[in-house]
């Protein structure tokens, strides 16, 4: 299974396919012989001339619970919607554990565990075989969306998933951006559609947190033109754009999500990717202040946080009990280096959180994959770092203290 197929099944890049870098502008460069030759933007790899300290952080200072990974995906999907419970597995537990032990990653949470028989098999492969090292979330059974009584069916599926060992529910951006009235055709189904109310309530009653991803970087909702700071990324992945057509705006998605939060105050929501608006921490803060049942993770957004380090540090300080460590790590996810599972990815996250280094890469890639900028660290104090690395996740997932402290 290649990365293009993987993206079409998971929702963090639904239906995406890498295309040739057509239309990327060129300029000229001078060779050693003094000749001028064309330089494609895709070949431009500038090296910083800054002389600044570089801190290597090979291992997290405290045990880590990575709340946001993808170890399995749906074996069958169409138009961004999972259509079967069967799973494809992206990483062998033994290979994952080798990296986890080196980096002090105590546990990985596989958010895309699926539903039904696929979920049960995922739990068996990871959670039950390596207890306390892996935790699995379930997902909605959208394939049954057209069945009579779907709201009740879906709520009962959550109850069964809980019995099968699921720790929470994962909502991909399928809901709001891909699921339609006829599953893959018709009008889009809104995030706050009342047919999902029994599902949200079931999660609240069972103390299962909902990890919810409802939007993407704000640049994905604007034209892919010379003003778009993610022009290269969107040129390479045009299907990641939600500009135009019948897609709702980022603001509309957030408003619909907030109506769900308001209707279900007893259900815990972990809003992924820094509340799906890392570019606007004031907006995220406003929603955090409004909804006590909202927490956030930082997965695949240190590129945004690290270019506003003072604002980010203030955000972590204020919401230190509600920010969770996550990476979006995906084994063999090489086409999206900001989330490919490897040692270097974790080291970058640790450097961002534990040091005050300046001007370093936010992803293990020659060319910054999300935008041509670099980041600075926020040097969290140990009291906050412990919470972000494991304390907040332990509370949300209802883990016993021994599971965090009993390191290999």
Q: Is the pLDDT of residue 157 over 60?
A: yes
pLDDT value of residue 407? 47
Which residues does 314 contact at the CB level (< 8 Å), separation at least 6? none
3-state secondary structure 289-352: HHCCCEEEECCCCHHHHCCCHHHHHHHHHHCCCCEECCCCEECCCCCCHHHECCHHHHHHHHHH
User: What is the percent of the chain with per-residue pLDDT over 70, rounded to a whole number?
Assistant: 89
Q: Are strands 87-89 and 105-110 parallel, antiparallel or unpaired?
A: unpaired
Q: Is the pLDDT of residue 26 over 60?
A: no
pLDDT value of residue 42? 79
Range with lowest mean pLDDT among 17-31, 175-189, 209-223, 296-310: 17-31
Q: Is the pLDDT of residue 61 over 60?
A: yes
pLDDT value of residue 8? 43
* Domains, the chain: 3-17+59-405 (3.20.20.140)
Residue pLDDT, tens place only, 80-115: 999 999 999 999 999 999 999 999 999 999 999 999
pTM: 0.89
pLDDT value of residue 408? 46
Residue pLDDT, tens place only, 368-388: 889 999 999 999 999 999 999
Which residues does 40 contact at the CB level (< 8 Å), separation at least 6? 21, 24, 26
Q: Is the pLDDT of residue 310 over 70?
A: yes
pLDDT value of residue 404? 65
* Average pLDDT score over residue span 67-74: 97
pLDDT value of residue 31? 59
Confidence of residue 402 (pLDDT cuts 50, 70, 90): low
pLDDT value of residue 28? 57
Mean pLDDT of the chain: 91
Q: Nearest Cα to 205, choosing from 264, 259, 261, 157?
A: 264
* Average pLDDT score over residue span 32-54: 81
User: What is the percent of the chain with per-residue pLDDT over 90, rounded to a whole number?
Assistant: 80
End-to-end CA distance of the chain: 32
Neighbours of 54 (CB within 10 A): 11
């Amino acid at each position: 299974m290649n990365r293009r197929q993987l993206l079409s099944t998971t929702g963090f890049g639904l239906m995406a396919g890498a295309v040739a870098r057509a239309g990327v502008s060129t300029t000229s460069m001078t060779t050693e012989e003094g000749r001028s030759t064309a330089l494609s933007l895709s070949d431009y790899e500038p090296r910083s001339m800054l002389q600044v300290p570089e801190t290597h952080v090979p291992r997290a200072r405290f045990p880590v619970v990575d709340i946001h990974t993808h170890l399995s995906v749906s074996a069958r999907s169409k138009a961004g919607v999972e259509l079967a419970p069967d799973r494809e597995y992206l990483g062998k537990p033994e290979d994952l554990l080798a990296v986890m032990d080196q980096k002090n990653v105590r546990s990985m949470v596989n958010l895309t565990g699926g539903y039904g028989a696929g979920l049960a098999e995922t739990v068996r492969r990871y959670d039950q075989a390596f207890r306390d090292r892996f935790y699995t979330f379930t997902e909605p059974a959208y394939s049954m969306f057209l069945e009579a009584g779907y709201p009740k069916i879906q709520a009962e599926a959550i109850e069964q998933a809980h019995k099968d060992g699921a720790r929470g529910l994962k909502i991909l951006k399928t809901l709001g951006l891909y699921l339609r009235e006829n599953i893959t055709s018709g009008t889009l189904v809104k995030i706050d559609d009342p047919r999902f109310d029994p599902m949200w309530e079931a999660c609240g009653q069972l103390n299962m947190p909902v990890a919810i991803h409802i939007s993407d970087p704000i640049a994905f909702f604007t034209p892919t033109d010379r003003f778009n700071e993610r022009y290269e990324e969107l040129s390479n992945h045009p299907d990641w754009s939600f500009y135009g057509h019948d897609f709702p705006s980022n603001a509309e998605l957030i408003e619909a999500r907030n109506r769900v939060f308001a209707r279900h105050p007893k259900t815990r929501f972990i809003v992924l990717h820094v509340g799906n608006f890392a570019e606007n921490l004031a907006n995220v803060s406003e929603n955090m202040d409004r909804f006590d049942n909202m927490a956030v993770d930082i997965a695949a957004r240190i590129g945004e946080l690290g270019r506003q380090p003072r604002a980010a540090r203030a955000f972590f300080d204020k919401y230190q009990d509600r920010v969770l460590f996550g990476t979006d790590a995906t084994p063999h996810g090489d086409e999206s280096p900001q989330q490919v599972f490897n040692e270097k990815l974790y080291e970058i996250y640790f450097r961002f959180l534990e040091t005050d280094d300046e001007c370093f890469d936010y992803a293990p890639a020659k060319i910054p994959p999300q935008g041509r900028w670099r980041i600075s660290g926020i040097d969290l104090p140990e009291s906050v770092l412990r919470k972000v690395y494991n304390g907040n996740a332990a509370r949300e997932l209802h883990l016993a203290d021994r599971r965090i402290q009993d390191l290999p």
